[in-house]
Structure 1
Amino acid sequence: MIPFHAHVPIISWRDTAMRKPALLCALAATLALGAAAPTFAADVQIGFTGPISGPASFLGQQMKWGAEQAIAELNKRGGVLGRKVSFTMLDSQCRPAEAVSAAQKLISQDKVDVLMGDLCSGATMAVMPLAESAHKPMIVSISTLPEITDKAGVGGNKWVFRTVPNDRMLASVIGTQLAHTKTISFIAEDTDYGRSAVKLVKARLGADAKVVSEDYVKSTETDFLPVLTRLRSTKPQALAVFMLDQQGYNLMKQYTQFGLKMPLVARPPLLAPLAKGLLAGGKFDGSWTVYPYFDQYSSPANDAFVKPFVAQHKQGPHYVAYGVYESIMVAADAIRRAGSTGPDAVREALAKTDYQGILGPITFDDHNQSHNNLMLVQVEHGKLGVKLIPSK
């Protein structure tokens, strides 16, 4: 969260901001007529942190859009427990310290009923102890670091739940896909996510598989020519990529300039709108990614989510928009079953969740981890094909 100064406002997004002037006018009119002031039930408050500013701010925008759609749908149905639902998103820049400051404000000042995790795993991990000490139910909707699951539920932080598959589950599917790969290189962002993902996938490679190279780059790095030059001579069968969209897109552009032929696998940003033009030429045929969500998967439930999203924003929902949307729906379901927003009641209801989500049922195990279906997305003839795969 950006520190408050007189000339720098705290960066936040609130869906209730535009309703306040109208509400105040209505209240003033009522008082002018001499009538008793009406009593308004407090909104059910959802709060989360994310990158409103910084390199990942485009994903923060998608998070906001996902929240807006979920809130609009819930309120159209009458809200939750007869109360409107609202959300507040504060800026973390994907940094742990900023995420903690933002979460403290959401808990102590905004009085949110449910807290949600950040985009970046490091930021989410930093907020988890705060949720525990404040006895605030927290849903992790995007971050995939396995340690979040390890620290939650039985024997750990009972206030934290995760609705998205973690990297261990993703690595299991990736390892299966790489079963016949004999030589492989890795390139990943130098973060908890990047290093953990590479470690998990390496542990699942076949006994005769050889790791040709392993490179980690800063999240701000844009020049991949040294790595690609080396790959052109070593010629691994596949290049496993673990990066956020913009950086991965830069890698893909330079990859095509070098005329490399090995497929990109694991978590390259093949689904990103930026990458669409690069795929069309067929240069990435044979590449694939395992992802928690892909908007082009066709089913009645996903179509009902995607259609209004595209109509509103002129682009499909990213995985992060889906993650926030789904988690808000899970939170609303738990509050409805709990019959209140009391933290203990909501936490107990979350533990008993059996919610029919967009990709299938969402339930939580002893470590408060859901086991949603995953998506294997492959490039064939310049186009993306998708297959639903159960997570383990």
Structure 2
Amino acid sequence: MQLPTNLDRRGRTRRIRWLVPLALTVLTLPAAGGCSSDGATPAAPRGDIAFGVIAPLSGPESARGQDLVDGAQMAANDLNVRGGVIGLHVSLVTVDDECLDDSGKEAAKRLHLTESVAGAVGGVCDDAAEAAARVLGGNGLPFLISSANSPTLVSAEDTPTAYLTNGTPYQEALATVHWMAYNTAQRLAVVADDAPESAYLVKQVISVASPVPKVVSKQTLTAGRQDIAAAAATALAADPDVVYWAGSARESGRLAAALRKAGYKGMYIASAQSESPDFRSAAGTDGAEGAYVITTASPQNLPATEAWTKRFTKAFGRAPGRDALQAYDALRALGQAVTQTGKVDRALNSEQLTKLEDTFTTFMGALRFAPDHTVKYDNHLVLTVKSGAFTLASTLRPDNDT
């Protein structure tokens, strides 16, 4: 079966290849000291350049916010080891958005009034990130939204300087259907909970899947009133060779267990929420084994980040999370844009983000932005449960655009 092309929302196509096992571009940065990559000592910084970091440092998402800030600080440290950005020492201006839209707006105002701030990274919650992006866009300040991933956050009219570095739900749907196609799936049964984000993701998956694999069954389960055994029986009555779940990790595990108990031998694929101990616990050994989860890259599922993770853990006393990795790459991208511009110019630096040079890479390879300011090559990958643990199965990277 021929693999599908990757269709973006502007109608372009791009061929992909699946890498099994994974071969990743390894980002090489000096671990410590003051030497550049050619062995020479970098020139002493001749001034300062500041980047803003917008994160929830209070409230229920404060742990994620601190992870994001620490990832940005790690990037600043690494840039300074290499001599800074255009010879300027990198510092951070961190503001708390509390994951609230009003706080996001106020946080962004503080940044744009700080003359030394050349750009910003961050944004965990959609509402707060959108509020900040509107303020920063109105003042020409580039903003790399590193965690929140709603495509509505980037708008040429309302948030012209905002960029998403995280893969969108649409891109998760693409990755999901690509994996089905790679495994020659023909008949798809879809089951989801009734959360709005699950409904949106399912809509994208079904849209991308048509005509192959053919959707032979679709169910939406009401939270708290699911008859999982009945849902499994309904899905299997349609004779699928792949069952896809979008929704909570616990209910995903229960469905996987029910399917295996009913004798299902086909593929089980779940949305990113199932990358959780709750899934493995609810599924049990038999239900979880061999299941696939489509999720975004994190330090825990990228072998190429091993050395970076050790350095991060030594610096901050804990292992990094997904938000730290995303913020690390986002801040480096801002530094690269300034480097390519050759000066601190907010408008020019924002424009340069669409023209990042081939030499700039991340742990996932190339970081490039599409005209709509979403990532051109997203960061989704495939995990599978093997011997009770999540194991990297594959990722996709672009071969070329056609």
Q: How does the TM-score come out when normalised to structure 2?
A: 0.70
Q: Does 1:378 align with 2:384?
A: yes
Q: Does 1:367 align with 2:369?
A: no
Paired amino acid for 1:92: D
Deviation at 1:112, TM superposition (A): 2.6
Q: CA RMSD in A?
A: 3.4
Q: 2:312 aligns with which of 306, 309, 313?
A: 309
Q: Which has the bigger relative contact order, CA under 8 A and spacing at least 6?
A: 2
| 1:336-355 equivalences in 2 (<5 Å) | 336-354=339-357, 355=360
- CA distance in structure 1 between the aligned counterparts of 2:222 and 2:86, rounded to whole angstroms: 48
Aligned to 2:293: 289
The answer on whether the counterparts of 2:288 and 2:385 sit within 8 Å (CA) in structure 1 is yes
Aligned to 1:170: 172
Aligned to 2:333: 330
Report the 3-state secondary structure (helix = DSSP H, G, I; strand = E; otherwise coil) of the residue aligned with 1:59.
helix
Aligned to 1:389: 396
Q: 1:214 aligns with which of 220, 223, 236?
A: 220
Aligned to 2:26: none
**Cα pair distance change 1:368/1:86, threshold 3 Å:** same
**Cα pair distance change 1:50/1:375, threshold 3 Å:** same
1:208-264 deviation digits (Å, cap 9, x = unpaired): 4245422576xxxxxx4646476466456635234xxxxx455567779x8664845
**Cα pair distance change 1:283/1:317, threshold 3 Å:** farther
Report the 3-state secondary structure (helix = DSSP H, G, I; strand = E; otherwise coil) of the residue aligned with 1:44.
strand
Deviation at 1:194, TM superposition (A): 4.4
Bigger CA drift: 129-138 or 200-209? 200-209
Paired amino acid for 1:333: Q
| 1:107-146 equivalences in 2 (<5 Å) | 107-108=112-113, 112-146=117-151
**Unaligned stretches of 5+ residues in structure 2:** 1-44, 237-241
The answer on whether the counterparts of 1:81 and 1:336 sit within 8 Å (CA) in structure 2 is yes
> Which runs of at least 4 in structure 1 moved beyond 6 Å after TM superposition?
252-256, 273-280
Deviation at 1:131, TM superposition (A): 1.8
Q: Does 1:61 align with 2:95?
A: no
- CA distance in structure 1 between the aligned counterparts of 2:117 and 2:88, rounded to whole angstroms: 14
Aligned to 1:48: 53
**Unaligned stretches of 5+ residues in structure 1:** 1-39, 218-223, 243-247
Bigger CA drift: 123-132 or 155-164? 155-164
- CA distance in structure 1 between the aligned counterparts of 2:119 and 2:232, rounded to whole angstroms: 49
- CA distance in structure 2 between the aligned counterparts of 1:372 and 1:268, rounded to whole angstroms: 21
Report the 3-state secondary structure (helix = DSSP H, G, I; strand = E; otherwise coil) of the residue aligned with 2:60.
coil
The answer on whether the counterparts of 1:297 and 1:386 sit within 8 Å (CA) in structure 2 is no
Aligned to 1:204: 208
The answer on whether the counterparts of 1:115 and 1:139 sit within 8 Å (CA) in structure 2 is yes
The answer on whether the counterparts of 1:264 and 1:284 sit within 8 Å (CA) in structure 2 is no
Paired amino acid for 2:168: N
- CA distance in structure 2 between the aligned counterparts of 1:291 and 1:89, rounded to whole angstroms: 28
What is the identity percentage for the equivalent residue pairs of Structure 1 and Structure 2?
A: 18
Report the 3-state secondary structure (helix = DSSP H, G, I; strand = E; otherwise coil) of the residue aligned with 1:209.
strand
Report the 3-state secondary structure (helix = DSSP H, G, I; strand = E; otherwise coil) of the residue aligned with 1:89.
strand
- CA distance in structure 2 between the aligned counterparts of 1:93 and 1:287, rounded to whole angstroms: 36
The answer on whether the counterparts of 1:164 and 1:371 sit within 8 Å (CA) in structure 2 is no
Deviation at 1:360, TM superposition (A): 0.9
- CA distance in structure 2 between the aligned counterparts of 1:316 and 1:359, rounded to whole angstroms: 19
**Cα pair distance change 1:182/1:161, threshold 3 Å:** closer
Report the 3-state secondary structure (helix = DSSP H, G, I; strand = E; otherwise coil) of the residue aligned with 1:376.
strand
1:106-141 deviation digits (Å, cap 9, x = unpaired): 222586321224122333233322122111111122
Deviation at 1:369, TM superposition (A): 3.0
Report the 3-state secondary structure (helix = DSSP H, G, I; strand = E; otherwise coil) of the residue aligned with 1:197.
helix
The answer on whether the counterparts of 2:279 and 2:288 sit within 8 Å (CA) in structure 1 is no
- CA distance in structure 2 between the aligned counterparts of 1:68 and 1:279, rounded to whole angstroms: 38
Paired amino acid for 1:161: Y
Deviation at 1:372, TM superposition (A): 2.9
Bigger CA drift: 331-340 or 364-373? 364-373
**Cα pair distance change 1:362/1:232, threshold 3 Å:** closer
**Cα pair distance change 1:335/1:326, threshold 3 Å:** same
- CA distance in structure 1 between the aligned counterparts of 2:130 and 2:222, rounded to whole angstroms: 21
The answer on whether the counterparts of 1:95 and 1:122 sit within 8 Å (CA) in structure 2 is yes
- CA distance in structure 1 between the aligned counterparts of 2:101 and 2:62, rounded to whole angstroms: 16
Report the 3-state secondary structure (helix = DSSP H, G, I; strand = E; otherwise coil) of the residue aligned with 2:288.
coil
Report the 3-state secondary structure (helix = DSSP H, G, I; strand = E; otherwise coil) of the residue aligned with 1:268.
helix
- CA distance in structure 2 between the aligned counterparts of 1:250 and 1:330, rounded to whole angstroms: 36
Q: Does 1:94 align with 2:99?
A: yes
Aligned to 2:88: 83
**Cα pair distance change 1:65/1:255, threshold 3 Å:** farther
